[in-house]
Amino acid sequence: MNKTFNFYCDESCHLENDHQPYMLIGYISCSVNQVKLHSKNIRQLKAKHHVFYETKWSGLSKSAYPLYNDLIDYFFATDLQYRAIVIDKSQLKHEEYNQNHDDFYYKMYFQLLSKKLVPEHNYNIYLDIKDTRSAKKVNGLKNFLNNNFISVRNLQNIRSHESELMQLTDIITGALSYHLRGLNTVIAKNKIIEKIQQHSKLPLNHSTPKDHPKFNLFFIDLK
């Protein structure tokens, strides 16, 4: 039987000229029949900590830390999987490869997803709405994937407040971006990064082994 999987994708420092050293694109995935269970469990964790609003990396503070700590523990205790591609923006050479940043963006999504999508399964891919260009980017990405022999049934934008799993992707991707930029001014954020490192048992500044499906990082070399 064909299985269906959902991918909840989020980006950090993805703009070409934002003066940030790294661009990250990451996703959390799970089978579609587990989405309601995970969403319910995450909402219960929020209720336990009296939090009934959207959780994002940017909202992590000392008072919010206990909830975020539980969310990271929950991710590593379940069948949820995370993968991210990390791009050193000092290596960008769009003119040399006759591409613009949108073309590059689609290529990086292809690199992120292509190793995980197999023909015998179905996929729903959701991207967080970032700006007014989000709809155009979704259409361009779907065309790019389908033209490169990846059949994607459903690829659409959603608002992050609509999805607990999208919010969890934002937290993990934000933590990685914060760590790679060498930021350490917020103690609660430092502790969440340490928690992710403890669970993954791997450093967060280079690629993980390919056979690590639970928590997988790919630092791409563009040279």
Average pLDDT value for residue range 123-133: 81
Beta strands in the chain (DSSP E): 4-12, 22-31, 81-88, 122-128, 154-158, 215-220
Average pLDDT value for residue range 124-137: 79
Distance CA 151, CA 142 (A): 9
Average pLDDT value for residue range 155-169: 94
Number of CB atoms found within 10 A of residue 2's CB: 7
Distance CA 187, CA 164 (A): 24
Written as six digits, the tokens of 76 are: 């590593």
Rounded to two decimals, what is the model's pTM?
0.93
Helices 164-180 and 187-200 pack at an angle, to 10 degrees, of: 100
Percentage of the chain lying above the pLDDT 90 cut: 63
Written as six digits, the tokens of 66 are: 């206990």
pLDDT given for residue 45 in this prediction: 98
pLDDT, one tens digit per residue, over 74-90 is 999 999 999 999 999 98
Residue with the bigger pLDDT between 65 and 151: it is 65
Looking at the predicted structure, is the pLDDT value of residue 1 above 70?
Answer: no
> DSSP state, 27?
E
Can you give the three-state secondary structure of 83-123, one letter per residue? EEEEEEHHHCCCCCCCCCHHHHHHHHHHHHHHCCCCCCCEE
Residue 212 phi/psi, 5° resolution?
-105, 85
Written as six digits, the tokens of 218 are: 């790919």
pLDDT given for residue 19 in this prediction: 75
Looking at the predicted structure, is the pLDDT value of residue 146 above 80?
Answer: no
pLDDT given for residue 151 in this prediction: 65
